[in-house]
Amino acid sequence: MTSSYRINYQLRAHKRDPLIEFIKGLLLTPFILHAKPRKPVLTSPHVGGNESIDTILATGTGTSNVNNDDRNDYQEEDKPMVDANLQRYLEIMKSVEVMIEEHRRKAVKGVPEHSRLHRIVPSVATFFTPLPLEAAFLDANAKHSIAARRFVPPSFNDIRRILNTAQVMAIAPTISLITFDGDMTLYDDGTSFTENSPLIPLLIALMRAGLRVAIVTAAGYPGDAGKYEERLMGLLRVFDQQKLSEKLLERFYVLGGECNYLFRCGWKKSDATSEPVVGLTYIHPESYQPSDMLAWKHEEIQELLDVAEENLKRSVSAMNLKAMILRKSRAVGIVPIGDVKIAREQLDECVLSTQQRLLEYQQMSGSSKTAIPFCVFNGGNDVFVDIGNKLIGVQVLQTYLGAAPEATVHVGDQFLSTGNDFATRSSCCTLWIISPEETEGVLKELTPLLTIPAEEA
C-alpha cells in the first residue's frame, strides 16, 4: 500500500460506515450488470418518418451506424427488468439478513468474531434484534422505486433508511425506551422546539403507548432546569395545553451533558405566577448514577479538560479559525465567532487531534488516575469535549428505567466516528436520521405498530 493511499484512507475512514458501504457494494453488482438503460427511439431524416431502432435493426434500412450487436445494449422490456432487478436486490438483502442473524448467534455464544459478517466487516457493531432487511427493502422500493432506477444505484442514504425501517419493524413489539438527540434530530441546529412541530403529537403518542421518552443531548447546564425548559418551551407548552396527566408526563426525561444532568418532566409551580405548569425537575446524581460515575474526581475532570482546551487552542491558532473557547464545568469546546461557518474538514481536524491528545494523556498518566470517559465530537459548526458520553447516558437510563438493550432505540444524526451518537451502538438499537423531517418519518413508521392501552387512548 502506497503512502499516499494510506494517508487518504486514514482521512476518509471517519466519514464512512463500514456496514453500509458493504451492503452498498453488494447492491452495486446487479445494478451494473442488469439495470440497463431504456431502449432509445432514433429519428433519422434518411429513414421515412420516425423509425425506431427495432425497425432499423430488423430491416437494415436507413443510414444508422447501429448494428445488430447493439440490440443487446438496451433493455427490451421495461416491467420484466424492474421485477428481475428487484428480485436480485431482495436476494442480496436476505443474504445480509441471514449473516446478521448468524452474527447475533455467535455473539450470544461469546464469539462474535467468528461470524462471517465480522470477518468481512471487522468493525461491525452489536445487533440487539434481528433486522428484516428483505421486508424493509420492499417498503423502501415502494417509496423510492430503487429497482426501477437505471442511472442511480442504491445509495448510502437508501441503505441507511432501509436499516432504519428494518430496525423499526424489529423493535416495535418490545420497545420500552426511546431516546433522541436534540439538534438536527428533534429541531434544527441551534434552534428550539416550537409548538407547531409535527413531532410533538408523535412523541405524545409514544408516551401514551407506555414508552419512556428521553432527550439525550450534549447541551450541558449543570442542574439548571430553566435552560433546558427554554430549548423545549414549545413541547412543554403543548403538554400543558393538553393537560397531560402526571403519570404520562413522568415518562419524559432530559439527560444533558451527554450523561451528567438528568431531569424528569411533570407538573410544578411556576416561579412567576405560582400556578401549576409543566416543567422539568432536576434529579440528583446519587439517585441514578452508578458508583463508578460518582467516583470521578473533580480535580481529574478539570485536568482532562485543561489538556483538551490546550489542544483546541492550538488547533484554532494553527488553522486561523474565527472561533472562541467555551469552558464549562464538565465540557470545553470551540464555537464560531459571529455568523462564521467553519469547514467540516477543519472541525474534523480539531476532533481527531484532540481525541489523539487525550488518549496519549491518559496513557501517560498510567494507573495513578482514573481513565475518565470522554467524548470529542463535531457538532456541525462547533467542536466539544464532554466528560462522559451518550453510551454511558443511555446505559444510565436503561438501568434507572429498567429497559433492556433490545427494548431501547436511540435516534440521532451523528453516527460517524466523529459524532457523539456513535457510541450508543454498543448499548442499544439505533436509527440514523439526518433531519427532524426524517425523525418524523421514522416515528410515523413506528407509532402505528404500537399498542396504546385503553386507559391512555
Active site residues: 181, 183
Residue 34: C-alpha distances to residues 31, 137, 258, 311 (Å): 6, 18, 47, 52
The 3-class secondary structure across 181-193, one letter per residue, is CCECCCECCCCCC
Maximum pairwise Cα distance, the chain: 91
List the grid coordinates of 60.
437494415
List the grid coordinates of 209.
403507548
Helix, strand, coil distribution of the chain in percent, nearest 5: 50, 15, 35
User: In sequence order, which ranges of 275-343 are alpha helices (DSSP H)?
Assistant: 291-294, 298-318
Per DSSP, the chain holds a count of helices (H) and strands (E) of 16, 11
Query: Exposure string (b/e) for 158-177, b if CB count within 10 Å is 16 or more?
Result: bbbbbbbbbbbbbbbeebbb
Question: Which of 263, 344, 396, 208 has the alpha carbon at shortest distance from 410?
Answer: 396
Q: In what order do the strands lie in the sheet with 331-336?
A: 323-328, 331-336, 383-387, 374-378
432 within 8 A of 184, measured Cβ to Cβ:
no
